[in-house]
Amino acid sequence: QVQLVESGGGLVQPGGSLRLSCAVTGSILRFVYMAWFRQAPGKERELVASITSGSSSNYLDSVKGRFTISRDNAKNTVYLQMNSLKPEDTAVYYCNVNLILLTGPPPYNYWGRGTQVTVSS
């Protein structure tokens, strides 16, 4: 019943910026955390950034100081602002959320389909 829709990916030159959005719909009681992962060609999927219900955030070392994760509670949307982009940031970026439904436990984990980010000159 929960759906994640990602947007904001695209092609950007090194040093440029993009903002990814992930809108979550469904019968949601509360988010436990929201996160962005990425997977580059030939590499394992890795956690880029996460944010808890208390707005505590964590980042992959290689993106610290360049990326910022945030959320809009009213819109059930999580964002990833990406600045000073580098070619090595090129990957498919996936939204991931862990949430509690109105019907109660577990919590449940959901993934978006991914959005391509390409950093190239």
Written as six digits, the tokens of 105 are 């436990």
What digits encode the pLDDT tens for the residues 55-112? 899 999 999 999 999 999 999 999 999 999 999 999 999 999 999 999 999 999 999 9
The amino acid occupying position 90 is T
pLDDT value for 81 = 98
Round to whole Å and give the CA distance between 11 and 55: 29
pLDDT value for 1 = 84
Determine contact, residues 66/98, Cβ cutoff 8 Å.
no
The amino acid occupying position 45 is R
Nearest to 53 by CA among 98, 110, 7: 98
pLDDT value for 33 = 97
Round to whole Å and give the CA distance between 16 and 19: 11
What digits encode the pLDDT tens for the residues 17-39? 999 999 999 999 999 999 999 99
pLDDT value for 54 = 86
